[in-house]
Amino acid sequence: MQASDFQLEADLEYGTRDGVNAFKNNRMVTFNADAIGLLRQQLIDAVGVDTARDLLLRFGFQSGLADFLQMKTAYDFETPDDLLEVGPALHTQEGIVAVEPVEMEYDRAEGHFYFNGLWHNSYEAEQHVIHNGESDHPVCWSLMGYGSAWCSGFMGEPVLELETRCVGMGDDVCEWVIKPIDEWGPDAEPYIAALEDLYAEV
Ligand SMILES: [Zn+2]
Protein backbone atom coordinates (compact mmCIF):
# COMPACT_ATOMS: atom_id res chain seq x y z
CA MET A 1 0.00 0.00 0.00
CA GLN A 2 1.08 3.57 -0.65
CA ALA A 3 0.42 6.28 1.92
CA SER A 4 -1.72 8.14 -0.61
CA ASP A 5 -4.05 5.12 -0.85
CA PHE A 6 -4.90 5.08 2.85
CA GLN A 7 -8.51 5.87 3.71
CA LEU A 8 -9.45 5.65 7.37
CA GLU A 9 -13.14 5.40 6.56
CA ALA A 10 -12.56 2.20 4.60
CA ASP A 11 -11.31 0.37 7.71
CA LEU A 12 -13.23 2.13 10.46
CA GLU A 13 -16.04 -0.11 11.65
CA TYR A 14 -18.97 1.69 13.18
CA GLY A 15 -20.68 -0.28 15.92
CA THR A 16 -24.04 1.35 15.53
CA ARG A 17 -25.64 -1.04 17.98
CA ASP A 18 -22.95 -2.10 20.45
CA GLY A 19 -21.36 1.35 20.86
CA VAL A 20 -17.88 0.20 19.92
CA ASN A 21 -16.17 1.72 16.87
CA ALA A 22 -13.04 -0.12 15.83
CA PHE A 23 -10.10 0.75 13.63
CA LYS A 24 -8.38 -2.60 13.26
CA ASN A 25 -7.55 -3.58 16.85
CA ASN A 26 -8.09 -0.16 18.44
CA ARG A 27 -11.34 1.20 19.82
CA MET A 28 -11.96 4.72 18.52
CA VAL A 29 -14.24 7.34 20.04
CA THR A 30 -15.51 10.67 18.74
CA PHE A 31 -15.94 13.65 21.04
CA ASN A 32 -17.25 17.14 20.46
CA ALA A 33 -14.21 19.43 19.98
CA ASP A 34 -15.73 22.15 22.18
CA ALA A 35 -16.10 19.67 25.04
CA ILE A 36 -12.46 18.63 24.70
CA GLY A 37 -11.50 22.30 24.60
CA LEU A 38 -13.34 22.88 27.85
CA LEU A 39 -11.71 19.86 29.47
CA ARG A 40 -8.35 21.18 28.28
CA GLN A 41 -9.08 24.59 29.80
CA GLN A 42 -10.13 23.05 33.10
CA LEU A 43 -6.90 21.08 33.14
CA ILE A 44 -4.91 24.31 32.70
CA ASP A 45 -6.90 25.96 35.50
CA ALA A 46 -6.45 22.99 37.81
CA VAL A 47 -2.75 22.23 37.43
CA GLY A 48 -1.23 25.25 35.67
CA VAL A 49 -0.14 25.76 32.11
CA ASP A 50 3.21 23.95 32.33
CA THR A 51 1.83 20.75 33.82
CA ALA A 52 -1.17 20.84 31.48
CA ARG A 53 1.24 21.17 28.55
CA ASP A 54 3.21 18.15 29.77
CA LEU A 55 0.09 16.03 30.25
CA LEU A 56 -1.36 16.90 26.84
CA LEU A 57 2.02 16.34 25.19
CA ARG A 58 2.05 12.88 26.76
CA PHE A 59 -1.56 12.25 25.75
CA GLY A 60 -0.69 13.08 22.15
CA PHE A 61 2.43 10.93 22.29
CA GLN A 62 0.53 7.90 23.51
CA SER A 63 -2.09 8.43 20.81
CA GLY A 64 0.56 8.78 18.12
CA LEU A 65 2.49 5.74 19.27
CA ALA A 66 -0.65 3.57 19.37
CA ASP A 67 -1.56 4.71 15.86
CA PHE A 68 1.97 4.13 14.58
CA LEU A 69 2.24 0.60 15.99
CA GLN A 70 -1.14 -0.29 14.57
CA MET A 71 -0.41 1.07 11.11
CA LYS A 72 3.00 -0.59 11.03
CA THR A 73 1.53 -4.04 11.62
CA ALA A 74 -1.91 -3.77 10.00
CA TYR A 75 -0.79 -2.64 6.55
CA ASP A 76 1.89 -3.69 4.12
CA PHE A 77 3.39 -0.42 2.93
CA GLU A 78 5.46 -0.42 -0.22
CA THR A 79 8.30 1.72 1.14
CA PRO A 80 9.47 3.20 4.47
CA ASP A 81 8.48 6.61 3.08
CA ASP A 82 4.89 5.38 2.89
CA LEU A 83 4.90 4.32 6.54
CA LEU A 84 6.25 7.74 7.51
CA GLU A 85 3.88 9.70 5.28
CA VAL A 86 0.76 7.86 6.37
CA GLY A 87 1.10 9.43 9.83
CA PRO A 88 0.16 12.90 8.58
CA ALA A 89 -2.60 11.34 6.47
CA LEU A 90 -4.09 9.53 9.47
CA HIS A 91 -3.87 12.58 11.74
CA THR A 92 -5.66 14.60 9.08
CA GLN A 93 -8.37 11.99 8.56
CA GLU A 94 -8.94 11.71 12.30
CA GLY A 95 -10.09 15.32 12.16
CA ILE A 96 -7.35 16.61 14.46
CA VAL A 97 -5.49 18.85 12.01
CA ALA A 98 -4.73 19.10 8.29
CA VAL A 99 -1.06 18.21 7.93
CA GLU A 100 0.96 19.62 5.03
CA PRO A 101 4.43 18.03 4.92
CA VAL A 102 7.07 20.24 3.29
CA GLU A 103 10.55 18.70 3.70
CA MET A 104 11.28 15.14 4.72
CA GLU A 105 14.72 13.55 4.85
CA TYR A 106 16.09 10.76 6.95
CA ASP A 107 18.77 8.11 7.19
CA ARG A 108 17.91 5.51 9.77
CA ALA A 109 21.38 3.95 9.76
CA GLU A 110 22.95 7.35 10.45
CA GLY A 111 20.24 8.49 12.87
CA HIS A 112 19.57 11.48 10.64
CA PHE A 113 16.04 12.85 10.65
CA TYR A 114 14.54 16.15 9.54
CA PHE A 115 10.89 16.72 8.77
CA ASN A 116 9.01 19.99 8.64
CA GLY A 117 5.70 21.29 7.43
CA LEU A 118 2.53 23.14 8.25
CA TRP A 119 -0.63 22.49 10.21
CA HIS A 120 -3.91 23.94 9.10
CA ASN A 121 -7.10 23.99 11.17
CA SER A 122 -5.51 22.68 14.38
CA TYR A 123 -8.46 22.03 16.68
CA GLU A 124 -6.13 22.49 19.66
CA ALA A 125 -5.03 26.00 18.62
CA GLU A 126 -8.65 26.85 17.87
CA GLN A 127 -9.79 25.75 21.32
CA HIS A 128 -6.88 27.41 23.08
CA VAL A 129 -7.72 30.79 21.52
CA ILE A 130 -11.42 30.41 22.39
CA HIS A 131 -10.66 29.85 26.07
CA ASN A 132 -7.38 31.71 26.61
CA GLY A 133 -6.91 34.16 23.79
CA GLU A 134 -3.54 34.32 22.08
CA SER A 135 -0.56 32.85 23.87
CA ASP A 136 3.10 33.85 23.88
CA HIS A 137 4.14 30.25 23.20
CA PRO A 138 3.02 27.39 20.89
CA VAL A 139 -0.08 25.63 22.16
CA CYS A 140 -0.64 22.57 19.96
CA TRP A 141 0.78 20.34 22.67
CA SER A 142 -1.04 17.08 21.93
CA LEU A 143 -0.33 17.48 18.22
CA MET A 144 3.40 17.87 18.90
CA GLY A 145 3.25 14.75 21.07
CA TYR A 146 1.54 12.81 18.32
CA GLY A 147 4.11 13.64 15.65
CA SER A 148 6.99 13.08 18.06
CA ALA A 149 5.73 9.57 18.78
CA TRP A 150 5.06 8.64 15.18
CA CYS A 151 8.50 9.71 14.00
CA SER A 152 10.27 8.27 17.05
CA GLY A 153 8.58 4.94 16.34
CA PHE A 154 9.64 5.19 12.72
CA MET A 155 13.25 6.04 13.55
CA GLY A 156 13.57 3.80 16.60
CA GLU A 157 15.12 6.71 18.47
CA PRO A 158 13.75 9.79 20.25
CA VAL A 159 12.84 12.67 17.99
CA LEU A 160 10.86 15.74 18.99
CA GLU A 161 8.35 17.84 17.12
CA LEU A 162 8.10 21.49 18.08
CA GLU A 163 6.16 24.33 16.56
CA THR A 164 8.01 27.34 15.21
CA ARG A 165 4.78 29.21 14.51
CA CYS A 166 1.33 28.61 15.97
CA VAL A 167 -2.16 29.96 15.33
CA GLY A 168 -2.49 30.00 19.11
CA MET A 169 0.18 32.74 19.11
CA GLY A 170 -1.58 34.78 16.45
CA ASP A 171 0.31 33.34 13.48
CA ASP A 172 -1.69 32.62 10.33
CA VAL A 173 -0.64 28.97 10.32
CA CYS A 174 1.09 26.46 12.58
CA GLU A 175 4.58 25.45 11.40
CA TRP A 176 6.56 22.55 12.84
CA VAL A 177 9.94 20.85 12.75
CA ILE A 178 10.82 17.32 13.84
CA LYS A 179 14.42 16.31 14.56
CA PRO A 180 16.42 14.18 17.02
CA ILE A 181 16.19 15.37 20.61
CA ASP A 182 19.92 16.09 20.86
CA GLU A 183 19.68 18.56 17.97
CA TRP A 184 17.29 20.84 19.84
CA GLY A 185 18.43 23.63 22.17
CA PRO A 186 17.48 24.55 25.75
CA ASP A 187 13.93 25.54 24.78
CA ALA A 188 13.15 21.89 24.09
CA GLU A 189 14.29 20.60 27.48
CA PRO A 190 10.86 20.74 29.22
CA TYR A 191 9.29 18.80 26.36
CA ILE A 192 12.01 16.15 26.33
CA ALA A 193 11.79 15.79 30.11
CA ALA A 194 8.01 15.35 29.93
CA LEU A 195 8.38 12.52 27.43
CA GLU A 196 11.46 10.83 28.88
CA ASP A 197 9.83 7.60 30.08
CA LEU A 198 7.62 7.36 26.98
CA TYR A 199 10.65 7.65 24.70
CA ALA A 200 11.90 4.44 26.31
CA GLU A 201 8.96 2.59 24.71
CA VAL A 202 9.89 3.37 21.10
ZN1 LIG B 1 -0.33 25.41 16.69
| pLDDT per position as a tens digit, 72-105 | 999 999 999 999 999 999 999 999 999 999 999 9
Output the CA 167–ligand 1 centroid distance in Å: 5
Asked whether 195 and 145 are in contact (CB, 8 A), the reply is yes
> Domain tally for the chain?
1
Domain annotation covers residue 10: no
Output the CA 189–ligand 1 centroid distance in Å: 19
Output the CA 127–ligand 1 centroid distance in Å: 11
The angle formed by the CA atoms of residues 92, 66 and 177, to the nearest 5 degrees, is 55
pLDDT given at position 157: 96
Distant-in-sequence, close-in-space partners of 135: CB < 8 Å, separation ≥ 6 = 128, 166, 168, 169
Output the CA 82–ligand 1 centroid distance in Å: 25
Output the CA 78–ligand 1 centroid distance in Å: 31
Domain annotation covers residue 14: no
Range(s) of the domain holding residue 108: 32-199
Output the CA 120–ligand 1 centroid distance in Å: 9
Domain annotation covers residue 24: no
pLDDT given at position 145: 98
Q: What are the C-alpha distances in Å from 16 to residues 12, 21, 30?
A: 12, 8, 13
Output the CA 144–ligand 1 centroid distance in Å: 9
Output the CA 31–ligand 1 centroid distance in Å: 20
Say which CATH number the domain at 87 has: 3.30.1380.20
Output the CA 4–ligand 1 centroid distance in Å: 24
pLDDT given at position 156: 95
**pLDDT beneath 50, residues of the chain:** none
Output the CA 15–ligand 1 centroid distance in Å: 33
| Residues around ligand 1, an ion, CB closer than 5 A | 122, 125, 140, 166, 174
Domain annotation covers residue 27: no
Distance CA 85, CA 81 (A): 6
Residue 13 region by backbone torsions, left for phi larger than 0, else alpha for psi between -120 and 50, else beta: beta
Residue 160 region by backbone torsions, left for phi larger than 0, else alpha for psi between -120 and 50, else beta: beta
pLDDT given at position 15: 84
pLDDT given at position 125: 98
Domain annotation covers residue 55: yes
Domain annotation covers residue 6: no
Whole-angstrom Cα Rg for the chain: 16
Domain annotation covers residue 85: yes
Domain annotation covers residue 159: yes
